[in-house]
């Protein structure tokens, strides 16, 4: 009996961690590839609603983004608590929308100017009054292709909470 007992090592052998860096690198590369750096620092709350009739947005160079939502807690002192428009990385008045779209359009390549699309990223809890004003401005600016950017999902689930 004692012969067998001697052979057994009572301590559990340490797990070999030599392949841990490989696993971590794999994850790292995934995130590096999947990451898109945000162009605009958001100063407003912007939680997008869900919809299921979505289409893919055009290429990035053809898209102009307009954000609408309530100012984030840090900015309520400056901008109040009702919905505001964010163009680029600053909160702007409605009158700037037309200029902003025109400037963006002029900066585009000649061949994609006609295909410009305006992506409206509107917070799901905001009221649509301001969105309507923006749409009127876009009509005046002849930026007629728009997209209500939304996450793919069930729209009825938005309404439940």
Partner 1 sequence: MARRSAPEVNAGSMADIAFLLLIFFLVTTTIEVDSGIASKLPPPLPPETKPPLIKEKNIFQVVVNAENRLLVEDADMEIGDLTDAAVKFLDNGGGTLPQNSCSYCRGDKDPESSDNPKKAVISLVNDRQTSYKMYLAVTNELVRAYSILRDREAKRLYNETFSSMTNRFAEWPATEKENNPEYDELEERIKKVQELFPRNLSEAEPQNRE
**Residues in the site for partner 1, rule: CB under 8 A?**
17, 20-21, 24-25, 27-28, 31-32, 34-38, 48-49, 51-57, 117, 119-129, 131-132, 135-136, 138-140, 142-152, 155-156, 158-159
For 159, the token pair is 């309404």
How many residues would you count in the chain?
161
- Indicate the DSSP class of residue 36: -
**For residues 7 and 38, which CB has a smaller minimum distance to partner 1 in the complex?**
38
**For residues 91 and 146, which CB has a smaller minimum distance to partner 1 in the complex?**
146
**For residues 3 and 56, which CB has a smaller minimum distance to partner 1 in the complex?**
56
Question: In the Cβ-directed half-sphere of 67, how many Cα atoms lie within 13 Å?
Answer: 21
In the block, residue with structure tokens 């898209």: 63
What's the rounded Cα separation, in Å, for the pair 58 and 115?
9
Q: Output the smallest distance, CB 62 to partner 1, in A.
A: 12
φ, ψ for residue 156, nearest 5 deg:
-70, -20
**For residues 24 and 107, which CB has a smaller minimum distance to partner 1 in the complex?**
24
Q: Output the smallest distance, CB 138 to partner 1, in A.
A: 6
Q: Output the smallest distance, CB 145 to partner 1, in A.
A: 6
Q: Output the smallest distance, CB 7 to partner 1, in A.
A: 31
**For residues 20 and 107, which CB has a smaller minimum distance to partner 1 in the complex?**
20
Neighbours of 126 (CB within 10 A): 19
SS3 76: helix
């Amino acid at each position: 009996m004692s012969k067998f007992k001697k052979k057994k090592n009572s301590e559990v052998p340490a797990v070999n961690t030599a392949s841990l860096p490989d696993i971590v690198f794999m994850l790292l590369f995934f995130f590096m590839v999947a990451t898109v750096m945000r162009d605009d620092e958001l100063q407003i709350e912007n939680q997008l609603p869900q919809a299921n009739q979505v289409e893919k947005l055009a290429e990035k160079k053809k898209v102009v983004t307009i954000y609408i939502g309530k100012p984030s807690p840090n900015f309520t002192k400056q901008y109040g608590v009702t919905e505001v428009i964010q163009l680029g990385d600053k909160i702007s008045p409605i009158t700037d929308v037309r200029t902003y779209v025109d400037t963006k359009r002029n900066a585009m390549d000649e061949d994609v100017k006609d295909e410009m699309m305006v992506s409206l990223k509107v917070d799901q809890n905001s009221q649509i009054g301001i969105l309507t004003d923006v749409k009127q401005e876009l009509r005046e600016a002849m930026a007629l292709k728009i997209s209500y950017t939304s996450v793919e999902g069930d729209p009825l689930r938005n309404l439940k909470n």
